[in-house]
């Protein structure tokens, strides 16, 4: 298996200010999951993006049902952007 993008390219650094309680939660997750703070934040971003995409697809499905009266799950799920 090849190297991940983080091992082959120099990633962009983003600094984020967090409240003390948020940092406590990040530290708790770091300990529990044996992950770095950067890995925790990358995972959080990945989940955020996936949830946003899921909501977008749900809205498309709802509009399709509204305007066609037909469910289109199989068609949308087969689409490369789904």
Are 60 and 44 spatial neighbours (Cβ–Cβ below 8 Å)?
A: no
- pLDDT given at position 79: 55
Number of domains in the chain: 1
57 Cβ contact list (under 8 Å, min separation 6): 76, 82
The per-residue pLDDT for range 19-43, each reduced to its tens digit, is 999 999 999 999 999 999 999 999 9
Q: Model pTM?
A: 0.63
Q: Which comes out higher in pLDDT, residue 81 or 44?
A: 44
Q: Please give the Cα distance from 26 to 23 (Å, whole number).
A: 5
pLDDT exceeds cutoff 70 at 58: yes
Q: Please give the Cα distance from 57 to 81 (Å, whole number).
A: 9
The per-residue pLDDT for range 3-25, each reduced to its tens digit, is 665 666 777 899 999 999 999 99
Domain that holds residue 26: 5-78
């Amino acid at each position: 298996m090849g190297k991940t993008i983080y091992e082959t390219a120099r990633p962009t650094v983003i600094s984020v200010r967090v409240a003390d309680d948020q940092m406590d939660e990040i530290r708790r997750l770091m300990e529990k999951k044996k992950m770095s703070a950067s890995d925790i934040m990358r995972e959080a971003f990945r989940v955020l993006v996936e949830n946003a995409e899921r909501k977008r697809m749900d809205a498309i499905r709802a509009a399709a049902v509204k305007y066609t009266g037909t469910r289109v799950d199989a068609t949308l799920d087969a689409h490369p952007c789904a």
